[in-house]
Every structure is written in structure tokens, then in C-alpha cells.
């Protein structure tokens, strides 16, 4: 539910509200299970140090791809069938009401039905060693929590207090309140946007009439 701006909203207040929602718990439980399994399996090798470095480099681009091609998916007709995934529908609702806290989070239904199972399957089947795959699951679980926390914090009433977070906050606010065609990264200061050409000078970008109504025809 949308609420008015809460003055004096602290980081502690934000943490309490964050953990009232299911997606942090689902991702957190997956992370804990992955950590326990990784410790139990052992078999530590140099590639286990390479995995987190590679994922940190790739994650902003992964965010960008998911945001552009999944969350901003346009509903498509296939005969009598309309292809319009829950993630895309919820994201449109999120743009329509950016202050609605439940809409900030990844829908738990998507996490349970395919996002987490698919991620676990990749970790267990796509790597040459089980230990390496579990290292991937630990990293993706941690990055998933960072994503959910950062996205939630940007839309909460907590005000930026550091230069880096202020830049992250400003970029995502531009995406929601200035033009939805730019500034797709969430957890970094526009890393992938700068490389992929979606990080313009805000002063040169017109306000979009469809930032709150994705895919509508501009009047």
C-alpha cells in the first residue's frame, strides 16, 4: 500500500520493513543452504576465487538484461494466448506506483516457481565441479539479497548519506520519474548503462509521458 513520506525514517527502520517481506527470506534461505553445502563439500580450488570476481563484473550487465528484456517485456499475442509473465506485470504496477512497498520486491511466486529452481539447477549442472557450482550459488544468493536491499532502500523514505549510494539512488529515480528508457542498473552507479549507451546526461533527456504507464501510447 502507498503511504506518505515518513520523516526521520532510519536505516534501522528500513531493515525492519525489509525483512517483513517474503523475497528476502526466500533468497536468504537459499544463500544459507548454499553456504552450508559449500562448506560440507569442500574441494576448494583457485577457480572458487575466480567465480565471485567474474560475477561481480558480470552482475551489472545481468541486471541490465533482466530489466530491459524481462521486466520491461511488452505483452505479446500468440493466437488466443497473451504472453505476459508475472514479473513484467508486477514491474508495470511498480512503475505505476513506485512507493508501494510490496511491489518493490521480486514476486515470491516467481521466486518459488522458477527463479530459484532455475538458479539452483544452473549451479548444480552447469559447472565442471560441484564445489564451483555451489560457490556460484553462494555468490548469486548474496548478490540477490544486495539487489533486493538496494532496490527497496531506493524506494523507501531513507535518504542517501554517502556519495556512492546517492549516485545509485539518483540513477534509479531518473529511471522511474524522468525516462524509463534509460538508467536500467540498480545496484551500481550505472556501470552497464555507461557501456550499453543508456546513461545519458539527464539534462539532455526529455521527461517521458509513459514512465508511470509502461508501453502506453504517448498522448
pLDDT in tens, 85-127: 999 999 999 999 999 999 999 999 999 999 999 999 999 999 9
* Residue 2: per-residue pLDDT: 58
Per the structure, the complete domain to which residue 108 belongs is given by: 11-160
Asked if residue 57 is part of any domain, the answer here is: yes
| Cell (9 digits) for 95 | 512503475
* Residue 9: per-residue pLDDT: 87
Interstrand relation of 81-83 and 76-78 (parallel, antiparallel or unpaired): antiparallel
Asked if residue 24 is part of any domain, the answer here is: yes
Asked if residue 52 is part of any domain, the answer here is: yes
* Residue 217: per-residue pLDDT: 63
CA distances from 161 to 7, 10, 188, 206 (A): 15, 11, 16, 28
Asked if residue 205 is part of any domain, the answer here is: no
Put simply, whether the predicted model's pTM sits higher than 0.85 gets the answer: yes
Asked if residue 117 is part of any domain, the answer here is: yes
Q: Along the 219 residues of the chain, how does pLDDT read in single tens digits?
A: 555 667 778 999 999 999 999 999 999 999 999 999 999 999 999 999 999 999 999 999 999 999 999 999 999 998 889 999 999 999 999 999 999 999 999 999 999 999 999 999 999 999 999 999 999 999 999 999 999 999 999 999 998 889 999 999 999 999 999 999 999 999 998 889 999 999 999 999 999 999 999 988 664
The single residue listed with the C-alpha cell 549516485 is: 167
Asked if residue 118 is part of any domain, the answer here is: yes
- 82 has which bridge partners? 77
Three-class SS state of 81: strand
* Alpha carbon distance 106, 19 (integer Å): 13
The DSSP secondary-structure symbol of 106 reads: P
With the CA atoms of 118, 119, 123 and 127 taken in that order, what torsion angle do they form, in degrees rounded to the nearest 10? 70
Asked if residue 202 is part of any domain, the answer here is: no
* Residue 3: per-residue pLDDT: 59
* Residue 79: per-residue pLDDT: 87
| Number of domains comprising the chain | 1
Asked if residue 200 is part of any domain, the answer here is: no
* Residue 4: per-residue pLDDT: 63
Burial grade of 17 (CB within 10 A; 0-12, 13-18, 19 or more): middle
Three-class SS state of 76: strand
Amino acid at each position: 500500500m502507498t503511504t506518505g513520506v515518513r520523516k526521520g525514517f532510519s536505516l534501522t527502520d528500513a531493515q525492519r520493513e525489509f525483512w517483513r517481506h517474503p523475497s528476502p527470506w526466500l533468497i536468504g534461505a537459499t544463500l544459507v543452504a548454499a553456504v552450508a553445502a559449500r562448506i560440507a563439500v569442500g574441494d576448494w580450488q583457485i577457480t572458487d576465487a575466480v567465480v565471485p570476481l567474474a560475477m561481480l563484473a558480470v552482475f551489472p550487465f545481468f541486471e541490465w538484461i533482466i530489466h530491459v528484456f524481462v521486466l520491461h517485456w511488452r505483452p505479446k499475442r500468440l493466437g488466443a494466448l497473451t504472453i505476459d509473465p508475472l514479473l513484467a506485470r508486477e514491474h508495470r504496477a511498480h512503475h505505476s506506483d513506485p512507493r508501494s512497498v510490496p511491489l518493490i520486491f521480486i514476486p515470491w511466486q516467481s521466486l518459488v516457481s522458477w527463479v530459484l529452481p532455475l538458479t539452483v539447477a544452473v549451479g548444480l549442472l552447469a559447472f565442471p565441479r560441484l564445489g564451483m557450482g555451489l560457490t556460484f550459488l553462494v555468490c548469486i544468493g548474496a548478490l540477490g539479497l544486495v539487489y533486493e536491499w538496494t532496490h527497496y532502500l531506493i524506494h523507501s523514505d531513507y535518504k542517501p548519506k554517502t556519495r556512492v549510494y546517492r549516485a545509485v539512488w539518483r540513477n534509479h529515480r531518473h529511471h522511474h520519474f524522468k525516462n524509463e528508457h534509460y538508467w536500467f542498473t540498480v545496484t551500481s552507479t550505472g556501470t552497464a548503462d555507461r557501456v550499453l549507451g543508456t546513461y545519458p546526461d539527464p539534462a539532455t533527456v526529455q521527461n517521458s509521458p509513459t514512465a508511470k504507464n509502461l508501453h502506453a501510447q504517448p498522448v
